[in-house]
Amino acid sequence: MDREQVIALQHQRFAAKKYDPNRRTSQKDWEALVEVGRLAPSSIGLEPWKMLLLKNERMKEDLKPIAWGALSSLEGASHFVIYLARKGVTYDSDYVKKVMHEVKKRDYDTNSRFAQIIKNFQENDMKLNSERSLFDWASKQTYIQMANMMMAATMLGIDSCPIEGYDQEKVEAYLEEKGYLNTAEFGVSV
């Protein structure tokens, strides 16, 4: 792919506002998009995210009154993804320790050199000193994942649109009530 083709793809990409309910994303294309999301980069490689694929029509209907920005997508898109951002991703959290040990295969404890680098990054560089600032930082990581998936969708000829028009507290409460979200661990990012 040359530079002109890359730019042409960016011109082709747009935020779809209405979807043809008769056009469905194939299972193979969906699996490719999920793999692109899995491979997306994130700060420090922590990947503080989960994707929730919403397929249940009753749930889509239930979300309409609290997700005003998603009305046309809930009605026609073959796949509706809710990106969840992990809460409390501090250098000394169990999650970070697990990622470092199991995924990165690093020796890691809160006194290790790398842990201190992450601590400095979080506390001094980025000032991630509250639950809200940590969640906002984790949410930014989901946008990287989403952008990669949206560009891959364009390459596959699939329309997409990021949506932020929703009542976060109500959507989170609904998803938690249905058993799809533990708000102590995750929050809705986009």
* pLDDT tens figures, 91-130: 999 999 999 999 999 989 999 999 999 999 999 999 999 9
Rounded-to-integer distance, Cα 133 and Cα 190, Å: 16
Domain with CATH 3.40.109.10 in the chain: 3-87+136-188
- Give the pTM: 0.94
Candidate CATH numbers 3.40.30.10, 3.40.50.261, 3.20.10.10, 3.40.109.10; the one for domain 3-87+136-188 = 3.40.109.10
Rounded-to-integer distance, Cα 143 and Cα 42, Å: 10
- Evaluate if residue 14 carries a pLDDT over 90: no
Query: Confidence class of residue 159 from pLDDT cuts 50, 70 and 90?
Result: very high
Cβ atoms within 10 Å, residue 100:
22
